[in-house]
Amino acid sequence: MPFERRLTLDTSAAEYVIDVANVVREPALGGERAADLNRLAGVLDALAGFARDPSVQVYAITDRSLLTDGRLTPAERQDLNRWYADGRLEVLPRADDRILELADALGLRVVSADNFLDFHRAYPWIPGNRDRFLRPVLLPDGRIGVRPRIMPVPEEWQVSRKEEEGLLLQAGVVRRWEHSAAHRAALGREWRCPEPGCPLFGSADRPGTALPRRRKEQVLCPTHGVPLADAGPRRPRAQVKVVMDGTVRGRFMVTEGEPVTVGRAPAGGGVALGAWIDDTAVDSVSRSHVVLSYDGRTLSVLDERSANGTRVRRRLPGNDTVEPLPHGVVRALRRGESVVLHERLELLPSGRQFVFEEDPTDGTVGPQDGGAHAEPTMMRLPLHDID
């Protein structure tokens, strides 16, 4: 299947979360059959177009029942089981509230037609939200598309909304603070599932990158529901996308404590951009153009001596700013900022890595149009959200 490369359980890489069963069993998305895996393919294609990212990374989860759903063809069931075994698909007894746990903990955008009305109290950022949810739709030409959606505000909330908003804001901030600190702690460790052959948290040679479940003080395997064993610290990573003319051409990771040289063809190893960009851009990019480093919270950029220099772009709704980066200066990238190597070529940190980062200026930096540089908008966190 060509589209399975878009499925990932890597919490450092995923930018969207999708409930696979929900899509596959949705007749409104076209097709004759009650359950049809082509609907998933269609939604992933639509998402790739929406994000202008052919390899858009999607955290896919499903109810266990889908793996044995007799309305799917045997080949489709085989695909699902293979993705599960390969650690590309998270399988759990019930998926409905898991999608929101993932969105909440990782700052992922949710692809779903569901209004999640039962969860508005638990996740006060949902009602009225404008930038975290996308709805899959059937387009007039028979293809599937995705549309940004505004989440409804339940009627009972509107009655005494002003009063409620204050209370909910308070509740939301407090809750989120505790919750995210716990998730952050969980993501900073390696976990092992006692269940033999667990595809999510199985063996040392395949490190579990999925998000453990949290139930009260326990850290659980989402699939098996049993407590996970702590196998030591894990170094955090940040994902950076290579964007050429507004389209994502490639991506790479920067691990805490391992600076990465990025350029046309870095001599001592690093990320060679040559394969991803065209000649015009290649000519103006130095062999070693910048060094990116990550301290576990913030990504920084350094341009020692590139021939044509580097700029930092900051996107604010309706107001982009670009400033030159002086040679030799280590510049921490704030949320919404990207590294401009050439007017057509940018290094764009994935938004969701910064979910735990406090932004002093604005908690709602994000695109208004869902366009080329659409990044999930992060919620602002208290300053003290550090373990």
Residues that bind Zn ion (CB under 5 A): 193, 195, 198, 221, 223-224
Closest separation in Å from C-beta 103 to Zn ion: 22
Closest separation in Å from C-beta 145 to Zn ion: 35
Closest separation in Å from C-beta 59 to Zn ion: 17
The length of the chain is 387
Q: Which is nearer to Zn ion, 65 or 368 (CB)?
A: 65
Q: Which is nearer to Zn ion, 225 or 324 (CB)?
A: 225
Closest separation in Å from C-beta 223 to Zn ion: 5
Closest separation in Å from C-beta 90 to Zn ion: 10
Closest separation in Å from C-beta 199 to Zn ion: 8
Tell me the three-class secondary structure of the chain, residue by residue.
CHHHHHECCCCCCCCEEEEHHHHHCCHHHCCCCCCCCHHHHHHHHHHHHHHCCCCCCEEEEEEHHHHHCCCCCHHHHHHHHHHHHCCCEEEECCCCCHHHHHHHHHCCEEECCCCCHHHCCCCCCCCCCCCCEEEEEECCCCCEEEEECCCCCCHHHHHCHHHHHHHHHHHHHHHHHHHHHHHHHHHCEEEECCCCCCCCCCCCCCCCCCCCEEECCEEECCCCCCECEEEEECCCEEEEEEEECCEEEEEEEEECCCCEEEECCCCCCCEECCCCCCHHHHHHCCCCCEEEEECCCCEEEECCCCCCCEEEEEEECCEEEEEEECCCCEEECCCCEEEEEECCEEEEECHHHHHHCCCCCCCCCCCCCCCCCCCCCCCCCCCCCCC
Q: Which is nearer to Zn ion, 64 or 175 (CB)?
A: 64
Q: Which is nearer to Zn ion, 137 or 231 (CB)?
A: 231
Closest separation in Å from C-beta 245 to Zn ion: 42
Closest separation in Å from C-beta 227 to Zn ion: 10
Q: Which is nearer to Zn ion, 223 or 377 (CB)?
A: 223
